[in-house]
Amino acid sequence: QSVLTQPPSASGTPGQRVTISCSGSSSNIGSNTVNWYQQLPGTAPKLLIYSNNQRPSGVPDRFSGSKSGTSASLAISGLQSEDEADYYCAAWDDSLRAVFGGGTKLTVL
Amino acid sequence: QVQLVQSGAEVKKPGASVKVSCKVSGYTLTELSMHWVRQAPGKGLEWMGGFDPEDGETIYAQKFQGRVTMTEDTSTDTAYMELSSLRSEDTAVYYCATDLLIGRSMDVWGQGTTVTVSS
């Protein structure tokens, strides 16, 4: 059972906008920033969003993040087939330990 | 550009220990904060521990406290993660990851090391 809660699956058609939610508590998301990772099959995770809504260099602006209270969201607009992957949210808690969501498998129909 | 290269796959028997290495290039280890994350087959990501630069200490996830040790050899810029008293549930891919962009970002990852625990 993961500390952060994500839906196990999400789907969309090419060009659509999809959002993935991540729910936590006051001791993690509520008081610290959120990161999002994309993991393609058989590869290491890749940082997609950091500090709630910042994109590392090279990440398309189709990906955006937001946070409100103890929840966060990842939005992907203009969905593309190559976006099909697992997505994980992560945050640090007040004991300086990182916690992950259980992951959301995104399918592009 | 920092790169993390991990050691090769391991097969261990229950009760044994495993030590996974993570070699840093492009930066020195003293400039970086290293984390270790694992992923069991078909499962999600699980943070095992990492260096907290604000405290200057390595913090371990409570689940692994007493069974995991994370060390660094600054002379070779290599980080190590040793997990003891292995059981079948420890079968997983183990990743090292570091914060290059900003603290606690885990934005650069190693390629992963598969550890299989089987009798």
* d(C-alpha B16, C-alpha B83), whole Å: 9
Q: Which two tokens stand for residue B93?
A: 């891919």
pLDDT in tens, B63-91: 999 999 999 999 999 999 999 999 999 99
Residue of A nearest to B52 (CA): A96
pLDDT at A1 over 90: no
Distance from CA of B72 to the nearest CA of A (A): 19
pLDDT in tens, A11-70: 999 999 999 999 999 999 999 999 999 999 999 999 999 999 999 999 999 999 999 999
CB pairs under 8 A between A and B: 63
Q: Please say whether the beta carbons of B55 and B68 come within 8 A.
A: no
Q: Which of the residues A47, A48, A49 would you substitute to probe the B interface, choosing the one with the greatest number of B C-beta atoms within 10 Å?
A: A47
Residue of B nearest to A89 (CA): B45
Q: Do residue A50 and residue B110 have CB atoms under 8 angstroms apart?
A: no
